[in-house]
Amino acid sequence: MRAALISLVRNEDLQGIVSSMRQLEAVWNSKYNYPWIFFNNVPFTEEFKKRTQAETKAECRYELIPTEHWEIPDWIDPTKLNNSIRNMELKGVKYASELSYHQMCRWFSGFFYRHPALNDIRYYWRVEPNVKFFCDIDYDVFRYIGDNNITYGFTINIYDDPNTLPSLWPETMNFTSKHPEYLNPSNSLDWLTDSSLRPDKHMIANGYSTCHFWSNFEIGDLQFWRSPAYGAYFDHLDRAGGFFYERWGDAPVHSIALGLFEDNSRIHWFRDIGYQHTVFSNCPDSPKCTGCRKNRLAPVTFWLNGEDCRVNWFRQVCKSDQSNQRHSNLCLDYN
């Protein structure tokens, strides 16, 4: 398969990415030897290259992000940006003042799939530093999504901080009103707009539930991001300035686009891939998995289970199945 493991990582994150690589190689990639492609906005050090290549028998590539894909665009007003950052800080928005975080979110939203290093790649698995993998994976996930016509795969589905994106949904509605042709008949609008479980988030986000696929784990088909619908959507959002005046994340941007422009039958929950990033995890009840608390979204802090958005997703899939007279395993299990 024309596929690769990709990571946007800084030189100073070496220990974290080595840890992630070691685990993913052990449970999966040592069987398939897909290449690793690392991206950075500054050149990688020789130590970074040597240490990461030592973790895998697969090819490692080290790529520099073009300046024009990373720098703050010229239509962002510096005064407005500084005022916006102060307002976000008053609301407790995490990473509000870290411009590199804003740049990272924008790059993953609209530029990673345009990098020349991915020109010949169709499928990707995004890997971040300091993540954990708990389960032995005994099949080629890239071949699986190709054979099953899957556009996007996720493990964790949670709510976002609505203070990071109050204008994202209004801007999205502005875009779709101009381009209704991009809406998929089997979209996930109910999942995107549900207010029953977290009405507080829905209100602050101006109609968006804030449900999103946590994009620090993504297995996907690059053709979706390269499509006319997504390209036009990203360009609209980019010009609106919310990646800097607010703190729009690539996770809600990706999720909204998938939820509106893709058939939800092509979005797959990799329930069998044990995974953890910070406090959230996906831990299957399987003999192939060790080292995690089974069926717990937040194994350390129980109250964070209130951030789980999977119930909304299951409802969405079931509703779409009923409308289209389909019978997916996910809906059968949920019922």
Radius of gyration (Cα) for the chain, nearest Å?
19
Q: Are the CB atoms for 108 and 39 separated by under 8 Å?
A: no
Task: Specify the pLDDT at position 195.
Answer: 95
Identify the structural domains of the chain with CATH numbers, from first to last.
67-115+133-334 (3.90.550.10)
Is 68 part of the annotated catalytic residue set? Answer: no
Q: Are the CB atoms for 52 and 18 separated by under 8 Å?
A: yes
- What strands lie across the sheet with 3-8, from one edge to the other? 60-64, 36-40, 3-8, 123-126, 218-221, 152-154, 267-269
Q: Which of 55, 218, 262, 307 is flagged as catalytic?
A: 218
Q: Are the CB atoms for 221 and 125 separated by under 8 Å?
A: no
Distance CA 250, CA 101 (A): 11
Cβ of 248: how many Cβ atoms within 10 Å? Answer: 26
> What are the pLDDT tens digits along the chain (335 aa)?
999 999 999 999 999 999 999 999 999 999 999 999 999 999 999 999 999 999 999 999 999 999 999 999 999 999 999 999 999 999 999 999 999 999 999 999 999 999 999 999 999 999 999 999 999 999 999 999 999 999 999 999 999 999 999 999 999 999 999 999 999 999 999 999 999 999 999 999 999 999 999 999 999 999 999 999 999 999 999 999 999 999 999 999 999 999 999 999 999 999 999 999 998 999 999 999 999 989 888 766 655 668 999 989 999 999 888 888 776 766 766 55
Task: Specify the pLDDT at position 334.
Answer: 56
Q: Does this model's pTM top 0.85? A: yes
Task: Specify the pLDDT at position 325.
Answer: 76
Distance CA 281, CA 92 (A): 24
